Amino acid sequence: MLEDALCRLREDRARRPERVSELAAGRRRRPVLAGRGQLLIVAADHPGRAALGAGERPMAMESRLDLLDRLMTALARPGVDGLLATPDVVEDLLLLGALDDKLVIGSMNRGGMQGSVFEFDDRFTAYDAPSIAAMGLDGGKMLCRIAPEDPATVRTLESCGRAVSALAGHGLMAMIEPFWSRHVDGSVRHELSAAAMVKAISVVQALGTTSARTWLKIPVVEDMERVLAATTLPTLLLGGDPGRAAGEAFAAWGKALRLPGARGLVVGRALLYPPGDDVAAAVDAAASLLEQP
């Protein structure tokens, strides 16, 4: 059945590209917070900046067909509210009919490719605010890594500020994923202390001409009470890639979700490529952590 759907997807891509905009215009939308007060969003924007690894598999996400199969399974599970992805993935899932009644958040800046010398020059190379509005999506997400010793950071900050303002002008959510970061032996490392997260949050929540539509997406670190006390903005918890320590990660997520201001989870590889490859079970376990309606 899925093979037939993927065959039709490839035919649509080649022969009927106009179906993308047609299906986007007809997609059934929903309120951001419908029923319960917390969300579960599946993230699949990693390939857009060459981050293809998951757990111990360095090229786990190389097959687009396999990724779409996993995403279809995840999005069909009860309790999954939506998708965060780049235009190519969003459009594949639109053509597969998987996005009705789901929140869809477009990933905006994918220019800072993993492992590159220009990783902190995180330019907006995917969605922009006008295209997100035109496609009928529900918001845009931006990665904002702050490296005080890297001059490229200021360009990223300015670009994120402009995107926040533009999304708000369309009445759409601006989801910012902040990190206080630095170079270590040629690689980017995030400082995952409470103090570093508080500094990063303090900077990004001031971006743009208004914060009325801004949400945060942050990792679960030690002393989350202190971290969440740094903001009044709605905050989603970043799942990350816990690898074999999935049990510990789920326990930490569950604890953090009980704190004021925590509005749900955004999880990608931990649900799409879990140990044992049981996507449905991993998604169900994450959904069980959220407040019930």
- What are the tens digits of pLDDT across the range 40-99? 999 999 999 889 999 889 999 999 999 999 999 999 999 999 999 999 999 999 999 999
pLDDT over threshold 80, residue 242: no
Residue 161 · residue 207 · CB < 8 Å: yes
Cα distances from 156 to residues 12, 117, 147, 187, 276, in angstroms, run 36, 15, 10, 18, 38
Tell me what pLDDT residue 246 has.
75
CA trace torsion 215, 221, 223, 227 (10° rounding): -20
Residue 121 · residue 155 · CB < 8 Å: yes
Strands 103-107 and 82-85: parallel
Per DSSP, the three-state class of 82 is: strand
Tell me what pLDDT residue 243 has.
60
Nearest by Cα to 176 from 198, 192, 196, 161: 161
pLDDT over threshold 80, residue 108: yes
- pLDDT tens per residue across span 129-175: 999 999 999 999 999 999 999 999 999 999 999 999 999 999 999 99
Show the CA angle centred on residue 55, arms to residues 160 and 68, nearest 5°. Answer: 70
- pLDDT tens per residue across span 253-268: 999 999 999 999 999 9
Q: What percentage of the chain has pLDDT greater than the value 70?
A: 97
Residue 205 · residue 224 · CB < 8 Å: no
Structure tokens at 3: 């093979």
pLDDT over threshold 90, residue 241: no
Tell me what pLDDT residue 115 has.
85
Helix (H) or strand (E) holding 255: helix 246-256
Residue 41 · residue 30 · CB < 8 Å: no
In CATH, the architecture of 2-287 is: Alpha-Beta Barrel (3.20)
Of the ranges 58-72, 109-123, 204-218, 276-290, which one carries the lowest mean pLDDT score? 109-123
CA distance 21 to 72: 20
Helix (H) or strand (E) holding 106: strand 103-107
- The predicted model gives 279-290 an average pLDDT of 96
Structure tokens at 166: 């533009």
Comparison of pLDDT for 37 and 87, the residue scoring more: 87
pLDDT over threshold 70, residue 36: yes
Given pLDDT bands bounded at 50, 70 and 90, which one contains residue 247?
Answer: confident
Tell me what pLDDT residue 293 has.
55
pTM here is 0.94
Q: Is 277 left (phi over 0), alpha (psi -120 to 50) or beta?
A: left
Within 8 A by CB and 6+ apart from 56, the residues are 243, 244
Mean model confidence pLDDT for the chain: 94
Domain boundaries, the chain: 2-287
pLDDT over threshold 80, residue 240: no
Tell me what pLDDT residue 267 has.
96
Nearest by Cα to 165 from 218, 220, 121, 128: 128
Tell me what pLDDT residue 1 has.
60
Tell me what pLDDT residue 195 has.
98
Of the ranges 1-10, 121-130, 218-227, 259-268, which one carries the lowest mean pLDDT score? 1-10
